[in-house]
Amino acid sequence: MRTVRLPDGTQVPALGQGTWHMGERGSAAKPEVAALKLGIELGMTLIDTAEMYGNGGAEEVVAEAAQGQRDKLFIVSKVYPQNASRTGVPQACERSLKRLRTDRIDLYLLHWKGSHPLTETVAAFEKLKAEGKIRHWGVSNFDTSDMQGLLRLKDGTNCTTNQVLYHAGSRGIEYDLLPWTTEHSIPLMAYSPVGQGGRLLQSKALAAVAKRHNATPAQIAIAWTMRHANVISIPKASDQAHVRENAAAGDITLTDADLAAIDAAHPPPARKASLDIL
Ligand SMILES: NC(=O)c1ccc[n+]([C@@H]2O[C@H](COP(=O)([O-])OP(=O)(O)OC[C@H]3O[C@@H](n4cnc5c(N)ncnc54)[C@H](OP(=O)(O)O)[C@@H]3O)[C@@H](O)[C@H]2O)c1
């Protein structure tokens, strides 16, 4: 599995697993755990979750999948903006640690910008880091100007990632956010890389490229997000056939002709647009 280097030198897999909509129904928990375990076996040891997903249920699914193999995992979780105050962050983190049945979160993100001052959130993240409860912190759904503001704050340069929507049907970040984060050596995490299994997978261009690689459109969609050295892709799959497909996407290298065909159908941004958010 190719890796991406975090600013402190830690290497993480360039391809991980999402968990949105897991842990929402008790009856689905078993297959969801099985899917995550299969993904781990196939090298997708970075797992993205959040206190929001399934109201904490997704973190419990992750805990179950992590049993007996916590040390090989890199667990990412997120705090709700409404909990991102100086006192709210540690309380939310404790609840997440309990649901995750672990003593540390590898990367803890602010899910999106809220009304609590960012200085408070960053100070709380730094305190949790000093206590060993989180190993790194970062943000999600931050546009370029938000990142610039963050880096001006005390300890703001310790931000380890920005997790944003990115797939061939939503390329706005290529205009300035992706070049800016590359310049600052901050990896991006691409969420919804298969466009949530929707219209993107009907793309004729993706289908044509897929045919050349004896692959599926979803695999091409994932490989496309991973073509940048500092992008980590986190597709979510509860279906084990999807998990197998997604893991194999990490081995696909797209050619210049493939990329040109995808550009023709899904053009890169010509101007700045505000960040797409789900
Ligand atoms: N920070 C944020 O604000 C934010 C927002 C959205 C998402 N995220 C994170 O990013 C992760 C991924 O994003 P997402 O869940 O929105 O969308 P996604 O990963 O693009 O798509 C997930 C959907 O696509 C299906 N799928 C997965 N692999 C497939 C394949 N090979 N072929 C066909 N269909 C496939 C899944 O079906 P099955 O489940 O049935 O296999 C599921 O319905 C989330 O789970 C979450 O961890 C973060």
Q: What is the pLDDT of residues 37-85, one digit of tens each?
A: 999 999 999 999 999 999 999 999 999 999 999 999 999 999 999 999 9
Tokens 């602010």 appear where?
110
| Alpha helices (H) in 67-171, listed in sequence order | 88-100, 118-130, 144-152
Q: Ligand 1 pocket test: pick from 109, 139, 141, 236 the residue with the most ligand atoms within 8 Å of its Cβ.
A: 236
pLDDT tens by residue, 172-217: 999 999 999 999 999 999 999 999 999 999 999 999 999 999 999 9
Q: Ligand 1 pocket test: pick from 189, 191, 243 the residue with the most ligand atoms within 8 Å of its Cβ.
A: 191
Distance 232 CA to ligand 1 centre (A): 14
**pTM (2 decimals)?**
0.98
For the cut 90, the answer to whether the pLDDT of residue 271 exceeds it is yes
> How big is the CA angle at 265 (ends 276 and 262), to the nearest 5 degrees?
90
How would residue 255 be classed by pLDDT, with cut points 50, 70 and 90?
very high
Sign of the torsion formed by the C-alpha atoms of 21, 36, 78 and 140: negative
Paired residues of 11 in beta bridges? 5
In the sheet that holds 46-48, the strands lie side by side as 46-48, 74-79, 105-110, 134-140, 159-165, 188-191, 231-233
Nearest atom, ligand 1, residue 236 CA = 19
pLDDT tens by residue, 79-99: 999 999 999 999 999 999 999
**Residues at CB less than 6 angstroms from ligand 1:** 18-20, 48, 111, 140-141, 163, 191-197, 201, 218, 234-239, 242, 245-246, 278
Nearest atom, ligand 1, residue 109 CA = 1
53, 108, 166, 191: the active-site residue: 53
How far apart (Å, rounded) are the C-alpha atoms in residues 133 and 127? 9
